Amino acid sequence: MRVFVLFAHPLETSFLARLRKRVVEALRGAGREVDDCDLYAENFNPVMSRETFLHYLDAPANRAQARAYIDRLLAADALVLISPVWHDGFPAILKGFFDCVFLPGVAFTMENGRFLPALRNIKRVAAVCSYGAERARTVAMGDPQRRFVKNSLGAQIGPGGRAGFIGLYDMDAASADKKARAIERVARAFSRW
């Protein structure tokens, strides 16, 4: 299984950077091939270009801006997102990734006004998101990241595919010990992939 890991945090010494390292190690330890993508380190351009928008419905012309990332996504069997939640949303770079890469003809097709899933190569999608807020507050806000991963991304992957989500809440106030336990818990989960 080839796993495309998307990491969206600008600081290489962050809690999430340590978590990402352990997830990648766990996946490789389980015999998975990993395409480890750090969106910040790779200077991914999250702004949809005018050309991409003009050709949005024209596959494959719409692929020009993000062709390399689209190719990586289409070569994968699974997708893992590792991201913070800022202001109740994904960082702009990750949101822009979905805007620029999950295009018609890539992630979905449109037939008679209906969206149909097209990421048949992806059999499994999961996200690990860290929140500064407590879980109760996030639930009260509707936990949009969980819904996006489980419902939107989950609906675009191959038939019978699985969508999972791990939320790490109240991490701004977490002790070093709590963060270390969270990293090991997440690594154990991905070692069983």
pLDDT tens, position by position, 105-132? 999 998 888 889 999 999 999 999 999 9
Residue 131 burial (CB count, 10 A): 20
pTM: 0.95
Ramachandran class of 50: left when φ > 0, alpha when ψ lies in -120 to 50, beta otherwise = alpha
d(CA 6, CA 18): 14
Q: How many CA atoms lie within 13 A of 37 on its CB side?
A: 22
Are 80 and 23 a contacting pair, CB within 8 Å? yes
pLDDT in tens, 28-76: 999 999 999 999 999 999 999 999 999 999 999 999 999 999 999 999 9
Residues near 13 by beta carbon (within 8 Å), at least 6 away in sequence: none
Q: What is the CATH number of domain 2-191?
A: 3.40.50.360
Token digits of residue 32: 């998975």
Domain boundaries, the chain: 2-191
Are 156 and 142 a contacting pair, CB within 8 Å? no
